[in-house]
Amino acid sequence: MGTVYLARQLSLDRPVALKVMSKRWVHDPVFVARFTREAFAAALLNHPNVVQIYDIGEAEGARFFSMEYVPGRSLVDLVKLEGKLDPETAVGFLLQAARGLKHAHDRGMIHRDVKPDNLLLDEQGMLKVADLGLVKTLDLDRDADRLSDPCESGLHSLPTNMTGTRMALGTPAYLAPEQCRDAAAVDHRADIYSLGCTLYVLVTGKQPFDGHTAIELMTKHAYEAIVPPEMIVSRVPKALSAVIQKMMAKDPDDRFADMGEVIRTLEQWLGVHHTGTFNPHDDQIETLEKHVRAFNEAPAVVLRSRVLAGSISACALLAVLLTFFGQLGWAFGLAGMVLQTALAYFAINGVARKTYFFRRARQFAFGLRFGDYAVLLAGLGLFFVLLWMLNLFWVWTGFGFIAAALAIGIRIWLDRAVDAQRQGPLTTCERQLRRMRLHGVDEEEIRQFVAKFGGRNWEEFFEGLFGFEAKLTTRGVLLRGGYAGIRDKFAQWREPVLHLIDRTEKARKESRERKLLAQVERARLLADGASENAARERGDKAAAVLVNQANAFRSADAKRRTVVNGSPAMKTNFHGPNLGQMLNQSQENPFDFRDDTPPQNDLVRFLAGLVLGPHVRAFVAAVLLAAAALWVFQNRLFFDADFQAEAVKASEAQRLDDIEQQATGLERRTHALAFDGIPEKWTSWCDSANVAWAGVLVLASMFYRGNRMSAFVLLGSLICVFGHRFGIRTVEPIRDYHVALLLGTVLSLIGYRLGRM
């Protein structure tokens, strides 16, 4: 159906496997629609033993989906290299594949092309089921998956001279008998048969049947008995041979009932007995604790933490001293150096190590639109203008060069030593985990083992082994119920930022998927004879159904990870929406999508988004903060020697309270913002520090979304700025602008509460 390329995803700077649809199918709207829908459904599968599908898309007429790249080799390469595998090793691999397939089966999908070529083994000994290109949903109508006319085309169809009109899909050497006869009629037991064939190949080094043609091979699968594996390789135990023969029974009813039964049988054969969680031996726990201790207490790690803590403390102390001695500009410059060092280190370290946080920030930046870049550049420009007005520009610039040098120094002289000393514990621990996988321990239980016995500071070590996302998932299970004890979180400051990025990326991805699904559905409906308007409307509704149901599926899948009696319930079946039902429902009554939402409501939402959208709020925040900065500069409301001298002279002509306000830098309402040549009515509204606070309130709203939230925040900011002009009565020392600030803040807080992160 297509060609797979090794590609690089630019936004995340990571390698991916890119499957591009063959040109022979690109102009077939039925095939494209089915290909896209089922790739979309398969992308919802998320399991350590399944190759993750990241994205689906179209570029210059080429249809594609990107998948997780697995560095390593397939089991067929391993068999070619070693001839045959030790039975225990083979079963260890097959157990991982069975768990990945069970994950798909529980969610209503079957693979239909299980074979050694599609079982990929990475460098840590983790096996992943790949190539869901022939995936079938259990609830899919059989006629929709089979062609009645050999001249027609559709998803999963192969050349008619190979399979005939009944479409026997998959690789002939591993096909279940019922799949040879009719691929549309198979269920999850066809995958059990193919997995049995794969285990047969691993332990014997040869395929169950030989043949010169596809038809000959399929005929033997359907009618000829296999030679028991122990008759070919004497060291294959009879008990394992019996398991293989049961998996490969001709009649589906004679096989194991489901993949869960296969997993339990293979675990029992390996001697892996579970009571709900993995119970490690003392030597395994002691070895892990030694690795974690060596990772966290490496000499370079201790040195780096002391150097960084000491440097930051020294800078803070020096900034305080400079402030007391009246050198506020140098104090701000020193604070800016610390900030610029952190930003420079984030970029340098992110490029060098390809850290998860840096790659997600890069992805976020790649997804910004022209308007977002305009707002960002305007904000930076405003910041530099403010520095220039406060005579701090060159101070910050000079300290910026020092900050870059410090960041490079930290990376070269500290981080390299840390990486070198930590690589040893990580590598040896990976070897330990690889052995556990080969002995049949479930991947989720391996991760829980590392988290549970990794000690109080387990998170950074865990991230080094499995990554940030796996850490969040494992933490959610580990800390429920409080049975894990006191645990420290590593670099938790990243998580609110990543949550914001995740929310934004989710919205972007949904928009792309909705657009792509609507496009292919419209093409399919047009091919079925629908009018242009009907195809557009109903294609959009079909895409909306798929995306909404996909969100419900993800939510149900996330809730599955629960804790029962203090231990993670990882062996339970999935009880959420079925992917097959999801695809079927999206196609039911394709010409009868009903929408009870009045058209005028869509217009109202559009106009509200136009007036209250994030770009409007960003513009308002920029104007308010810029005006506040100009007001501060015009009124000299910062501590310097000249201002203090002027305040002393003013004491002879003004009241004592006015002198105190000037000397302490409090807001002065008597000097509103003014420019020569500009009418006073256009600038007089900026007359207090309320303007700056209103800008901060609007800027904070950028972390939330929702029209109601935006309306409350914008109203609150208006009250902050203009409220004192409407005759508010107060009692000293409370001023009218104090009341306006309080009311505006309360309204904004209500808005934040109504908003969504």
Which DSSP string do the residues of 635-653 spell out, in sequence order? TT-S--HHHHHHHHHHTTT
Q: In sequence order, what are the residues at sequence separation of 6 or more whose Cβ sits closer than 8 angstroms to the Cβ of residue 198? A: 75, 94, 97, 114, 115, 116, 119, 174
pLDDT of residue 110: 85
Coil, helix or strand for 17? strand
**CA–CA gap between residue 19 and residue 66 (Å, rounded):** 6
The count of other CB atoms within 10 Å of the CB of residue 86 is 14
Mean pLDDT of the chain: 81
Instruction: Give the model confidence (pLDDT) of 507-542 as tens digits.
Output: 888 888 899 999 988 988 888 888 888 888 888 888
Query: Would you say residue 636 has pLDDT above 70?
Result: no
In which residue are the tokens 């039911």 written? 588
Domains of the chain with CATH codes: 71-270 (1.10.510.10), 282-440 (no CATH), 494-595 (no CATH), 605-635+671-754 (no CATH)
Nearest CA-CA partner of 103 in 80, 82, 132, 78: 132
Query: Would you say residue 183 has pLDDT above 80?
Result: no
The count of other CB atoms within 10 Å of the CB of residue 343 is 13
Assess contact for 457 and 296: CB atoms under 8 A: yes
Instruction: Give the model confidence (pLDDT) of 77-119 as tens digits.
Output: 999 998 899 999 999 999 999 999 999 998 888 888 899 999 9
* Burial call 577-602: b when 16+ CB within 10 Å, e when fewer: bbbbbbbbbbbeebeebeeeeeeeee
Question: Confidence band (pLDDT; 50, 70, 90) for 184?
Answer: low
Query: Would you say residue 586 has pLDDT above 60?
Result: no
Question: Confidence band (pLDDT; 50, 70, 90) for 698?
Answer: confident
Bridge partners of 67?
Answer: 17, 53
pLDDT of residue 603: 56
**Which position has the higher pLDDT, 72 or 580?**
72
In whole angstroms, how far apart are CA 410 and each of 308, 325, 380, 414, 675? 9, 31, 26, 5, 47
